[in-house]
Amino acid sequence: MSLVFPFDPNIERASTIPARVYNDPVFLELERERIFARTWQLAGRTDDLREHGQFITVQIENDPIVVLRDGETLRGFYNVCLHRAGPVAQGCGKRNTLQCRYHGWTYSLDGTLRRAPEMQGVQRFDPESMHLVPVQVATWGPLVFVNVDGKAPPLADVLEDLPTRLASFHCESMRYVMRKEWEIACNWKIYVDNYLEGYHVPVVHPGLHKELDYDNYVVEPRRYFSIQHAPLRPIEGGSGDRKYDPSATEAPEAVYAWLFPNMMLNVYLGQMQTNVVLPLGHDRCRVVFEWYAEHPPADAATDPSWTKLLAFSDEIQDEDIEICEIVQRNLRSRVYDRGRYSAARENGVHHFHSLLHEFLT
Ligand code: FES
Ligand SMILES: [Fe+2]
């Protein structure tokens, strides 16, 4: 089976990428090496790294990572002890050193090995010259990202003008509210494909379709991300069962940003939501939503505006999950290999596939 697959940069001529890219586990291995190990991945929240010694741990595909605050500096390391690969940190918390929980080798917060018990007599063993392997760390707003590729472009370069574009939403002053996650029986790319177009909204999301001005739905692909936005549909006659009131605020339009390969950032006035799509296998993924707000509710589970918002979010998510799982099953059919793109509606999907092609082949 070929790991190389065709891709046409001209969407009007292009066919979609072959079904085997979704179905064959070999592509997931390739994606782990060539995509997930080379791109910025969401690791946690700045709120958990405010004080000297605070740390968080995160698994980025095959790589366990620890991120910590050392004075003014955020540092990231592979959470893999230099001795026999024990963990130097677990969960999250606050410590002055990192101590491996296997045989107790101890590292300072800058990653230097400080203490290795009972290693007397071992030749060519110099703790002072031994360091945990570092990874890149960067923040945007309340979010912490890591990149295990030391040669990858800085996060700020990847985000281009996205922070400026989102400046009026004040994301940096938003605080964590809650998290929800789903295990979905589809390849991670099916969920991402589905996120990247509004083409399915009229058929899959009748409720959402009532809210959005579909004719003015725009997708803007950039180098490593894309932005989607759509104005709210004006209310004609009574507001009926509408969820959003377009006349209620002078709100800037909501922005739905996707960052290659697996993260979405949905920003609204006063709140935002991150979605991360994590492969669990070639035909399964976990999707994690985290909500942030400028004025977090005392309890999102009972706050009326949050229960309404979460119910609508669940409705849309359930609709997306159902279609993504059916598509995963159908991609295994012997009659399907490649389809075509709507040039008017699927430029975001085509852009994602162009990056897949660039990184994988
Ligand atoms: S594996 Fe870390 S001290 Fe042995
Ligand atoms: Fe959808």
Which CATH number belongs to the domain containing residue 346 in this structure? 3.90.380.10
Which whole number is the average pLDDT over 301-307? 95
Percent of the chain with pLDDT over 70: 95
What is the reported pTM?
Answer: 0.95
pLDDT at 251: 60
Please tell me the number of Cα atoms within 13 Å of 9 on its side-chain side.
3
For residues 180 and 289, is the Cβ–Cβ distance under 8 A?
yes
pLDDT at 246: 62
Confidence band of 254 (pLDDT split at 50, 70, 90) = confident
Which whole number is the average pLDDT over 158-185? 96
CA 70, chain centre distance (Å): 25
Confidence band of 236 (pLDDT split at 50, 70, 90) = low
pLDDT at 240: 60
Q: Which of 151, 183, 216 is the endpoint of a domain?
A: 151
Query: Is the domain of 308 the same as that of 347?
Result: yes
Query: Is the domain of 184 the same as that of 202?
Result: yes
Over the stretch 113-152, which tens digit does the pLDDT of each residue have?
999 999 999 999 999 999 999 999 999 999 999 999 999 9
Is 1 a member of any domain? no
Is 12 a member of any domain? no
Distance 244 CA to ligand 1 centre (A): 55
pLDDT at 3: 87
Query: Is the domain of 88 the same as that of 75?
Result: yes
Query: Is the domain of 312 the same as that of 169?
Result: yes
Is 65 a member of any domain? yes
Q: Is the pLDDT of residue 57 over 90?
A: yes
Is 8 a member of any domain? no
pLDDT at 234: 77
Query: Is the domain of 33 the same as that of 46?
Result: no
Distance 295 CA to ligand 2 centre (A): 27
Tracing tokens 């540092």 back to the chain, one arrives at 75
Over the stretch 10-35, which tens digit does the pLDDT of each residue have?
999 999 999 999 999 999 999 999 99
Task: State the average pLDDT for the chain.
Answer: 95
pLDDT at 249: 57
pLDDT at 178: 97
Distance 49 CA to ligand 1 centre (A): 25
Question: What is the extent of the structural domain holding 133?
Answer: 41-151
Give yes or no for residue 180 CB within 6 A of ligand 1: no
Question: Which residues neighbour 72 within 8 Å (Cβ) at sequence distance 6 or greater?
Answer: none
Q: Which of 107, 122, 151 is the endpoint of a domain?
A: 151
How many domains in the chain?
Answer: 2
Q: Which of 99, 116, 151 is the endpoint of a domain?
A: 151
Angle at which helices 304-330 and 188-195 cross, to 10°:
120
Query: Is the domain of 65 the same as that of 210?
Result: no
Is 10 a member of any domain? no
Distance 201 CA to ligand 2 centre (A): 6
Buried b (16+ CB within 10 A) or exposed e, 105-131: bbbebebebeebeeeeeeeeeebeebe
Is 116 a member of any domain? yes
Which ligand is nearest the CA of 106, by number? Answer: 1
Q: Tell me whether strands 134-140 and 73-78 are parallel, antiparallel or unpaired.
A: antiparallel
CA-proximal residue: ligand 1, atom 3 (nearest): 103
Q: Is the pLDDT of residue 167 over 70?
A: yes
Which ligand is nearest the CA of 113, by number? Answer: 1
Angle at which helices 347-360 and 188-195 cross, to 10°:
140
Give yes or no for residue 102 CB within 6 A of ligand 1: yes
Give yes or no for residue 98 CB within 6 A of ligand 1: no
What are the φ and ψ backbone dihedral angles of 329, each rounded to 5 degrees? -65, -40
Distance 138 CA to ligand 1 centre (A): 28
Pocket test for ligand 1, best of 79, 80, 100 (most atoms within 8 A of CB): 100
What are the φ and ψ backbone dihedral angles of 195, each rounded to 5 degrees? -65, -30
Rg of the chain, C-alpha, whole Å? 22
Is 2 a member of any domain? no
Pocket test for ligand 1, best of 97, 99, 103, 125 (most atoms within 8 A of CB): 103
Is 3 a member of any domain? no
Distance 86 CA to ligand 1 centre (A): 5
Give yes or no for residue 84 CB within 6 A of ligand 1: yes
Query: Is the domain of 189 the same as that of 133?
Result: no
Domain CATH code at residue 102: 2.102.10.10
